[in-house]
Chain A
Amino acid sequence: MKTSIQWFRWVGIPAFFLVVLTVLPLIFKTGFMINALINVVRWTIFALAFDLVAGHIGAVSLGQPIFYGIGAYLTAYLASELGLGWLGCMLVAAVLMALLAILAGLAFFRIRDVTFAIGTLGALIVTQLVANSAEKITGGALCKTGIPRPEIILPFLAKAIKIIQPIQYYFLLLPFLGFTILLYLALTRSRIGKAFTAVREDEARASAIGIYPLRYKLVAFAISGALIGALGSWQAQYVTVFCPSDMGQDITTALLIMVFVGGAARLSGVVVGAVIFSILPPFLQVMGSQYFQPAYQEILYGIILITVMLYMPDGLDGLAGRLFRRFQHHKKEGG
């Protein structure tokens, strides 16, 4: 039974967010703005998918970029050899990556805790190394080039629009974001979400109340893999080039920062983290000062990450929430 407040939380805020994202590029048409927006939307999708596994289930998989990379390479093949369209590529990538995630999960979820993290990192490195070496398939270190740009066929207008401009890509990406947010909310605010939390906090207890932890871990992992694979697919068609270095550990560290500094296992936290840490780096670099070089920025982010983990485990979003509540509390007391 949804009251009006719940409707607002469920649909209202994300809808508002999406409207803003739709309108912004139409107002500010600069290349910089479009690129920034694409960046934000890309990372938000990535971070939400990562959060499902790392935040909700608590399985910190350091190898999620694997799905991204394979999704991209797969799309390169599908689009150029089979001539599959934009949506087709993304869907196939999503489905195949979900399957891969389930297989990988069956193997990796038998391992617990830190070893799981180490194992997934090892898997990522292996995949990257293979991508680097298998030149026939992936183009090796010289990257896979020439990925065809998608074409949208509008039957009722008997016209085919070639997607070339970033802004066009952006409007293909936006519905994906909307879908991801809806899916995230539907999963995490439902019974499944409670089961996720139970599995994360105390697997033994979860079993004792009838939850089969592996099932829920696989669900989260498969959905995460599917979303990330689809994102890789989009990315391949956007840049038309994909390199093994595009699926590196730097993606994992960026995701860790976004999710855990922002606030894990919460939509607002993850979005805050994704927005801040996808806008900040290019923004600071543009400012030009010598101290805003990538290396110095990374040092800063590392310090922020450690500070948050040590002293503010529920992230910046959690901190903001607590301060806000304390402020309200004082207002009530004072007034």
Chain B
Amino acid sequence: MVAPYPSIDGAPLLGVHRLTKRFAGVVALNQVDLAIRNCERVSLIGPNGSGKTTLFNCITGFCRPEVGNIQYKGVDITHERPDKTALRGITRTFQNVKIFPSLSVADNLAVSLQQHQEDDLMKRILHMPSIRALDKIAAEKVDHFLGMIGLSRLRNESAAKLVYGQRKLLEFACALIPDPDLILLDEPVAGVNTTMVDQMKRYIMEINEQGKTFLIVEHNMGVVMDISERIIVLDYGVKIAEGTPAEIQQNQRVREAYFGR
């Protein structure tokens, strides 16, 4: 049992301790420590190749670190299967937007939600009232999120027909619908127009108000500075800085990492 990363108000929601990941000789993550507290908005920045997505992948169970551990709500999830980690209340989006093209927009949302509902095969076959109630709740949630992202009228269209910005919104909504506690966003505003950037910022702030924690990888510095309470900077797999947006902007090492030595 590793001591939780020291923080001001109790144990963190997510604790990453001395995480190291190697890929074919390259050290993608090097002894990375970080802690995310409940209801925080934390951004993870760094030049390309600094290990940000690798960190996400390790947290969500898509790669196994060689050294170190990851604790979520006090439980060691380091070597857990990704689907099990997801069921704990951690959701994520992907750098190259992943949705299911063969499913309709509504079904994309439904399938993201269904794992989190207590389902029972026998009850379903018998079509019992408890299951019907479950389905009703699911349908309502799907409607709610469709409305939130403005895709209600496209609900039965195949998700393959969505344009890039719509897909990003759909993926975002899919990350929210299971009522997670921790949401990992991988470049949520990459390649979208300014209207949507503002929209995304608003969503994140609103949902954060509702008690959700965000860890965001992003390159858009404007967004990062605007919405983050804390910023963590990676470079070549090493955490080189951590602090408030103001602190990071002043940080010499961060500047060097981005603009060269």
Contacts and interface: CB of A to CB of B under 8 A. Distances in A.
Q: Do chains A and B touch in the complex (CB under 8 A)?
A: yes
Contacts of B92: 208
Given A211-B83, A212-B83, A204 B103 contact: no
Interface string A176-219: 00000000000000110011011011101111111111000000
Contacts of B174: 209
B143 to A, nearest CB: 14
Interface in A208-242: 208-213
A205 B98 contact: yes
Nearest to A206: B83
B81 A194 contact: no
Interface stretch (B6-14, B113-121, B222-230): B113-121
Interface stretch (B69-77, B104-112, B161-169, B231-239): B104-112
B257 to A, nearest CB: 29
Contact of B132 (A1, A195, A265): A1
A204 B178 contact: no
Contacts of A265: 102
A191 B110 CA distance: 8
A201 B100 contact: yes
A265 B102 CA distance: 10
Name the interface size band of chain B: 20 to 34
B115 A194 contact: no
A198 B91 contact: no
Given A207-B81, A209-B91, A202 B115 contact: no
Interface of B: 60-62, 81-84, 86-87, 91-92, 94, 98-103, 107, 110-112, 114-116, 119, 124, 132, 135-136, 174, 178
A207 B82 contact: yes
Contact of B114 (A191, A197, A201): A191
Given A208-B91, A210-B86, A210-B178, A202 B98 contact: yes
A205 B94 contact: yes
A100 to B, nearest CB: 22
Contact of A210 (B98, B107, B115): B115
Given A1-B132, A195-B111, A197-B103, A207 B86 contact: yes
B102 A201 contact: yes
A195 B114 contact: yes
A197 B102 contact: yes
A210 B117 CA distance: 11
A208 B60 contact: yes
Contact of B115 (A190, A197, A211): A211
Contact of B116 (A194, A206, A210): A210
B57 to A, nearest CB: 9
Contacts of A212: 81, 83-84
A209 B86 contact: yes
B205 to A, nearest CB: 24
Nearest to A201: B100
B100 A202 contact: yes
Contacts of B111: 191, 194-195, 197-198, 209, 211
A208 B60 CA distance: 7
B96 to A, nearest CB: 11
Q: Which of A190, A198, A204, A209 has the most CB of B within 10 A?
A: A209
A328 to B, nearest CB: 16
Contacts of A191: 110-111, 114, 119
Q: Which of B87, B99, B100, B174 has the most CB of A within 10 A?
A: B100
A303 B62 CA distance: 41
15 contacts: A1-B132, A197-B103, A198-B100, A201-B102, A205-B100, A207-B86, A208-B82, A208-B86, A209-B83, A209-B115, A210-B86, A210-B178, A211-B83, A211-B115, A213-B83
A302 to B, nearest CB: 27
Contacts of B107: 194
A206 B102 CA distance: 13
Contacts of B87: 210
A8 B252 CA distance: 69
Given A207-B82, A209-B174, A211-B111, 19 more contacts: A1-B132, A190-B124, A191-B114, A194-B107, A194-B111, A198-B111, A201-B100, A201-B101, A201-B102, A202-B98, A204-B62, A205-B94, A205-B100, A206-B83, A208-B83, A209-B178, A210-B115, A211-B115, A212-B83
A194 B91 contact: no
A262 B208 CA distance: 48
Contacts of A194: 103, 107, 110-111, 114
A213 B83 CA distance: 9
A211 B116 CA distance: 10
Contacts of B60: 208
A300 B4 CA distance: 68
Interface in A92-124: none
B132 A204 contact: no
Contact of A198 (B94, B103, B132, B178): B103
A207 B57 CA distance: 12
A1 B137 CA distance: 13
Nearest to B98: A205
Contacts of A197: 100, 102-103, 111
A243 B125 CA distance: 39
A205 B98 CA distance: 7
Contacts of A204: 62, 82, 98
Q: Which of A190, A201, A210 has the most CB of B within 10 A?
A: A210
B123 to A, nearest CB: 13
Contacts of B81: 207, 212
